[in-house]
Amino acid sequence: MFISSAYAQTAAGGSDPLGGWTSFLPIVLMFVLLYFMMIRPQMKRQKEHKTMLDALQKGDEVVTSGGVAGKVTKVSDAYVGVEIAPNTEVQVQKSAVQTLLPKGTLKGL
């Protein structure tokens, strides 16, 4: 024969002290990095937004997620009355309130 036969060799005994966990280490590090870079800050923003919504009261100036600015006239559990012009009031969901503005901001608009 012109071609010699090739035989498979058995793998040498690994000396990995962690027992194969080193191959999963990069994946675990990616998830840890993802948690601290994305998930944790988002949870913090959600908590701050919920605190702001719970503290809403009549007379606060707000901006909704649709970009409508106005003064809060009524606050209920799920809805907020927002006066966007004299004698013009709209009802929006409480979760649609995006930003609480400093007092007097609407006079400058």
Which tens digit of pLDDT belongs to each residue from 25-71? 899 999 999 999 999 999 999 999 999 999 999 999 999 999 999 99
* Burial of residue 16 (number of CB atoms within 10 Å: 0-12, 13-18, 19+): exposed
pLDDT category of residue 91 using cuts at 50, 70 and 90: very high
Q: What is the pLDDT of residues 65-89, one digit of tens each?
A: 999 999 999 999 999 999 999 999 9
Instruction: Kindly state whether residues 72 and 102 are assigned to the same domain.
Output: yes
**Considering the domain boundaries, does residue 17 fall inside one?**
no
Instruction: Kindly state whether residues 44 and 69 are assigned to the same domain.
Output: no
Strands 88-93 and 97-101: unpaired
Confidence (pTM) = 0.71
CA distance 26 to 12: 24
**Considering the domain boundaries, does residue 5 fall inside one?**
no
Determine the structural domain holding residue 102 and report its residue range.
57-109
Instruction: Kindly state whether residues 94 and 69 are assigned to the same domain.
Output: yes
**Considering the domain boundaries, does residue 7 fall inside one?**
no
Q: What is the pLDDT of residues 5-14, one digit of tens each?
A: 666 666 555 5
**Considering the domain boundaries, does residue 41 fall inside one?**
yes
Say how many domains are in the chain: 2
Instruction: Kindly state whether residues 69 and 85 are assigned to the same domain.
Output: yes
**Considering the domain boundaries, does residue 108 fall inside one?**
yes
C-beta separation of 80 from 97 below 8 A: yes
C-beta separation of 103 from 62 below 8 A: no
CA distance 56 to 99: 11
Higher-confidence position of 3 and 91: 91
